[in-house]
C-alpha cells in the first residue's frame, strides 16, 4: 500500500470516528486532508469526501439500535428539506470561482464553532415524567447522568431551514451536513446532542447523494481507489467511535467539535 493510500484509509477511519462521536459525516476533516495534505484539487477532495460520508452513514446502520438515540420521525421530516437543498447545491457545484467555495467552507465552519462554544453548557433534557414531548420529541437514556430523560423539539421551522442549508452546503463544499445540523438541533431546537448526532448520521447518507452524482457527472470522482479506501476507513472508524462515545461527556464533545472547526476555518479563510 502506498503512503497516499494509507493516508486516505486512516483519514476515513478518523472521519468515521468523528461521525460516531459528533454526528458529522467527516467532510470537515476529509476535505482539508485530501486537499491540503494529499494535494488533490478542492473539487476532487469534495467528491471523495462525499463518498466517505456515505461510508459513515452506512456504518451507522450496523450500530446498536437499543440505545434509542435515533429519532426517525425527525430525520425523515428534515430529509425532505436537506435533499431539496442538496439538489439545488449540486446544480451550482461548478458555478463559482474556487476561492468562493473555500471561503464558504471556512466561513461555515467558523459560524458553527462559535455556536457550539456559546451553548456548550446547554443540555436540553426534561424530567422523565414529562408527558407531552410533542410529535418530534422522545425519551432516551442519558449516558452522562445514568438516568432516563425526555426532550421536546422547539422551533420546527428553524430546524427545517437549517436542514435545507446543510443539504446545499453538502453538495457545494463536500461535507455531509451534520456539522451544521447537529449544532443547530442542539443549540437552537432543544434536541440533546447525542440524539442530534444519531439522527444526523442517518440523514447525511441520503443528503450526500445529489452531490456525489453531480461530482461523478463532472468528472471529479476519477480516483475511485482513494474514494473506496476513504469509505472503507469510515465504515471501521464509525464502529470504533460508537463503542467509545458513551465515555465522553457532552460538554467536552462540544468543545472538541468547536476546536476542530476553528482550526479548519482558519486554514481556509486565512491560509490559502
Q: Which three-class secondary structure state does DSSP give residue 149?
A: strand
Distance, in Å, from the CA atom of 180 to the CA atom of 189, rounded to the nearest integer, reads 13
The residues with which 149 forms a beta bridge, in sequence order, are 140
pLDDT exceeds 60 at position 204: yes
Gyration radius (Cα) of the chain, Å: 17
Among 143-152, 180-189, 240-249, which range has the highest average pLDDT?
A: 180-189
How far is residue 191's CA from residue 40's CA, in Å, rounded to a whole number? 37
pLDDT category, 66, cuts 50, 70, 90? very low
Output the pLDDT for position 120.
63
Decide: helix, strand or coil at residue 138: strand
Average pLDDT for 48-53 = 88
Residue position matching grid coordinates 486516505:
8
Q: pLDDT class for 222, splitting at 50, 70, 90? A: confident
Report CA 262 to chain centroid distance, whole Å: 16
Region for residue 250 given its phi and psi (left: phi exceeds 0; alpha: psi -120 to 50; beta: otherwise)? alpha
* Residue in 17, 133, 135 with CA at minimum distance from that of residue 72: 135
pLDDT at residue 65 tops 60: no
Q: 46-59 burial, b if ≥16 CB within 10 A, otherwise e?
A: bbbbbbbbbbbbbb
Average pLDDT (22-32) is: 79
Give dist(CA 35, CA 272) in Å, integer.
11
What pTM does this model have?
0.84
Task: Take residue 113 and report the three cell numbers written for it.
Answer: 464553532
Among 264, 31, 56, CA closest to 178: 56
| Structural domain of 27 | 3-270
Tally of structural domains, the chain: 1
Is the model's pLDDT at 247 over the cut of 80? no
Number of residues written out for the chain: 272
CA 99: distance to chain centroid? 23
pLDDT for residue 100 is more than 90: yes
DSSP, res 170: H
Do residues 19 and 193 touch, judged by C-beta distance below 8 A? Answer: no
Characterise 135 by phi-psi region: left (phi > 0), alpha (psi -120 to 50), beta (else).
alpha
Residues forming a β-bridge with 141? 148
Amino acid at each position: 500500500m502506498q503512503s497516499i493510500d494509507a493516508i486516505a484509509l486512516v483519514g476515513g477511519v478518523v472521519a468515521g470516528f468523528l461521525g460516531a462521536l459528533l454526528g458529522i459525516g467527516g467532510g470537515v476533516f476529509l476535505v482539508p486532508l485530501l486537499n491540503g495534505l494529499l494535494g488533490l484539487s478542492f473539487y476532487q477532495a469534495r467528491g471523495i469526501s462525499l463518498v466517505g460520508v456515505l461510508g459513515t452513514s452506512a456504518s451507522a446502520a450496523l450500530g446498536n439500535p437499543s440505545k434509542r438515540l435515533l429519532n426517525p420521525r425527525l430525520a425523515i421530516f428534515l430529509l425532505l428539506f436537506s435533499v431539496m437543498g442538496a439538489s439545488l447545491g449540486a446544480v451550482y457545484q461548478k458555478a463559482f470561482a474556487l476561492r468562493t467555495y473555500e471561503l464558504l467552507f471556512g466561513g461555515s465552519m467558523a459560524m458553527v464553532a462559535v455556536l457550539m462554544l456559546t451553548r456548550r453548557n446547554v443540555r436540553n433534557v426534561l424530567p422523565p415524567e414529562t408527558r407531552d414531548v410533542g410529535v418530534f420529541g422522545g425519551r432516551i437514556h442519558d449516558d452522562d447522568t445514568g438516568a432516563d430523560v425526555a426532550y421536546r423539539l422547539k422551533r420546527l421551522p428553524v430546524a427545517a431551514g437549517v436542514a435545507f442549508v446543510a443539504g446545499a452546503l453538502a453538495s457545494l463544499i463536500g461535507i455531509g451536513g451534520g456539522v451544521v445540523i447537529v449544532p443547530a438541533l442542539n443549540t437552537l431546537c432543544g434536541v440533546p446532542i447525542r440524539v442530534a448526532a444519531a439522527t444526523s448520521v442517518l440523514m447525511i447518507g441520503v443528503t450526500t447523494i445529489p452531490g456525489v452524482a453531480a461530482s461523478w457527472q463532472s468528472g471529479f470522482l476519477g480516483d475511485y481507489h482513494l474514494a473506496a479506501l476513504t469509505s472503507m476507513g469510515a465504515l471501521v472508524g464509525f464502529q470504533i467511535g460508537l463503542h467509545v462515545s458513551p465515555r465522553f461527556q457532552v460538554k467536552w464533545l462540544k468543545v472538541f467539535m468547536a476546536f476542530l472547526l476553528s482550526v479548519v476555518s482558519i486554514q481556509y479563510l486565512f491560509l490559502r
